[in-house]
Amino acid sequence: MPNALHTEITNTIIEALTTGDLPPWRKPWSCDPNASGLHTSLSSGKPYRGINQLILMCSAMKNNFRSKYWATFNQIKKQNGSVLKGSKATTVVLYRPVDRTKIDDTGNEVDDSFFVMRSFKVFNADQTTLEQFQVSDEPETGVPFENYENADRLIEDIGADIRYGGSEAFYSSKEDYIQLPHRERFDSAEAFYETAFHEHVHFTENESRLNWNRKNEGYAMGELIAELGSVLMMVELGLPISDQSNHVSYLKHWLSGMNDDPKFIFKASSQASKAVDWLLACSKQDAEVREAAIVV
């Protein structure tokens, strides 16, 4: 069950959720302009349509492509680039109208048209030498980054596999790793730690840890748990919270899928507290303090 501090925080969030208008949630980090959103033709600059979006999305997910740009071999060549050796193309389709004349049932000649499907082989920019169309792993340096030693030490003690780069933040339950943008891409140091702890709460889902699964709890509930856990972690570690309204907006978004019922927040708070307790228990410094106390 949540401790008194956790309950107080949850009640504060409930009050914010149920009173007043909230701004829309925003990502607290900047995105590379080449990062995958709608998959886009490199030659035309226009997003692919219809089934091609699904085809390219599946290919990008399967191969961990991060760029949104795709092009044929010849289009890449026109950009003075080349396809990397061993790269496999993805097939997309294009329906082109063909005009013709035909004789109708009355014997008259009439205009007619039909669509012919053609297929094309395209490569993601990540499969080419065209670095200007790829997602940069160079961190932005416009915002000074402050490190919180106690938070960094705990993250190190937890020992999750954290992979930095790109413009997405997520926990891969299938491969058991956390993906985060570079620290310097975040609006502030606090925003980085809030996002990192959000994904670390998801990290506790694994069956080798707390074994709570988003598939069983429901995706919305999983996000409520992770976001509440992030706030609790920041408070427990004495770190400032960057923008409470952003947290509340995020929670409101997922809670709306649960008929705005506050009881789901309390259920999420209970699981979030368990996750926070598990993560804090990973602290080697605390373990050393407890061990020293036993020795004395």
| Chain position carrying tokens 């410094």 | 285
The answer to whether position 120 is within a domain reads: yes
- Please indicate, yes or no, if residue 251 is contained in any of the structural domains: yes
Q: In terms of domains, do 172 and 240 share one?
A: yes
Query: What's the distance, Cα to Cα, between the start and end of the chain in Å?
Result: 31
Number of domains in the chain: 2
Residue 35 lies in a domain: no
Residues 235, 197 share a domain: yes
Same domain? For 120 and 158 the reply is no
The pLDDT profile of the chain, 296 residues, written as one tens digit per residue, is: 445 655 655 665 555 555 554 444 445 455 567 775 678 899 998 888 767 877 887 788 778 888 989 999 999 999 999 999 999 999 888 766 667 677 777 777 777 665 667 788 999 999 999 999 998 766 555 555 567 888 999 999 999 999 998 878 899 988 999 999 888 888 888 889 989 999 999 999 998 999 886 555 567 788 878 888 888 888 788 777 765 555 556 666 556 644 555 667 677 778 888 999 999 999 876 555 434 434 33
Q: What tokens were used for 141?
A: 């340096």
Residues 104 and 169 reside in one and the same domain: no
Nearest by Cα to 150 from 206, 81, 234:
234
Distance CA 158, CA 76 (A): 43
Same domain, 159 and 257: yes
d(CA 233, CA 280): 8
For the entire predicted model, the pTM comes to 0.56
CA torsion sign, 221 to 227 to 231 to 237? positive
Using an 8 Å Cβ cutoff, are 35 and 68 in contact?
yes
207 within a domain of the structure (yes/no): yes
Looking at the fold, whether 253 and 205 belong to one and the same domain comes out as yes
Residues 153 and 240 in one domain: yes
CA angle 146, 137, 198 (to 5 degrees): 55
In the block, tokens 């030498």 appear at: 129
**Domain assignment of residue 83, given as a range:** 40-133
Q: What is the distance between the alpha carbons of residues 90 and 63, in angstroms, rounded to a whole number?
A: 11
Note whether residue 95 is domain-resident. Answer: yes
